[in-house]
Amino acid sequence: MTQQIQAAMDSEIRNLDWMGPQTKAKALEKLHGIVNKIGYPDKWRDYSGLEIRRDDLLGNVQRGDAFEQRRQLAKIGKPVDRSEWITTPQTVNAFYDPQMNDINFPAGVLQPPLFDGRLDDAPNYGNTGGTIGHELTHGFDDDGRQFDARGNLKDWWTKKDAAEFEKRTTCLTDQYGKYIVVDDVHINSRLTLGEDLADFGGLVLAIVAWKAEAAAHPAPQFIDGLAPDQRFFVGMAQWACSNERPENLRVNASIDPHSPNKYRVNGLVANFKEFEQAFACKPGQPMAPVKRCHVW
C-alpha cells in the first residue's frame, strides 16, 4: 500500500497546476528520497551489554539509563545511522521525521481496528492509506517543506510557488479557525495547520490510490449495506472514535497541534466532492459546502 500511496503523490505533484517545474523537480527528489520504516527495524539493537535483574527495579532503571547514555555518546564522530529506529515496533503511532526524511509505521499501528487484512481494500485505504498519505504530506507541509531530500534545513521553493502555497493554506486556516472546540474556544488553526494539511493531503492520496486499486481489483458492491466509497470514508473515520472531557478539549486547544478528532473527520471530508457523492449530500449542506479548500 505504501508504494501505491507514493505513486499517487508522484502523480499529484507532477499534475499540480500551481507549482512550477523547478519546485516540482525538488519535490519529486524529496518524495523519492523518503525512506519507509515499516513494522520493525532491519537490524535489531544489541542489548547484550545491559544487565537486567529480576529483583532490582531501581538498579535496572539506573543501568538502563547508563546503557542508553553510553550508546548515544558512542555516536559522536560517526556518520548518522539513517536506519536507526527511534520508536519500538509495539508503538501505536506513525510519524514523519523531517531531518531524516523518513516515514515510520511501527507494527503496533498496523493492527485492527486501524489496518485489518480481513477487510476489503476500501476501509483499509481510507484508514491506513490515509495515514500513510498523512505522513508523506508532512514532508511538504508548512514545516516539512523547509527541509530538503537529505533532511537539511533548506529553502528549495521558488518565491512564486511558496506564495501560492501560503495562499492555498490560508483557506484551511480560515475554515478550521471557525470551528468551536468547546464553549467559546475556537481551533487555533495556525497551530494546527501542519496536521490539517497532512490530513488533507493524506486523504487526497488515499482516494487516488484506492481508485486505482479498485479499478484493477473490483470489490463487492455492497458489504453490510455500504457501497465501496461509503466503506472507504467509514474506514477513514474509524481511527478518530473518541470521547473527551471539556476540560481536556480546552487544554488541547492551546497546546495540541492537532485539531479535535471531530473536525479531523468532519472538517476534512467537507472539502471532498467524493464524500458528498458517496453519501448523497445536497450542495450547500454543512458536509457539502459551496467553498472547498484545495492544496494538493
Q: Which residues are catalytic?
A: 135, 199
Secondary structure tally for the chain: helices H, strands E: 11, 5
**The C-alpha cell that represents 27 in the structure block:** 519535490
HSE on the CB side for 232, CA within 13 Å?
30
Distance of CA 155 to the CA centre of its chain: 22
Q: Determine the Cα–Cα distance for residues 162 and 150; give it in Å rounded to an integer.
A: 20
Please, which residues bridge with residue 105 across strands?
38
Phi, psi for residue 55 in degrees, rounded to 5: -110, 25
**The C-alpha cell that represents 236 in the structure block:** 477513514
Q: How many CB atoms lie within 10 A of CB 169?
A: 21
Closest CA to 8 of 289, 207, 151, 158: 207
Report whether 203 contacts 268 (CB < 8 A): yes
Phi, psi for residue 104 in degrees, rounded to 5: -125, 120
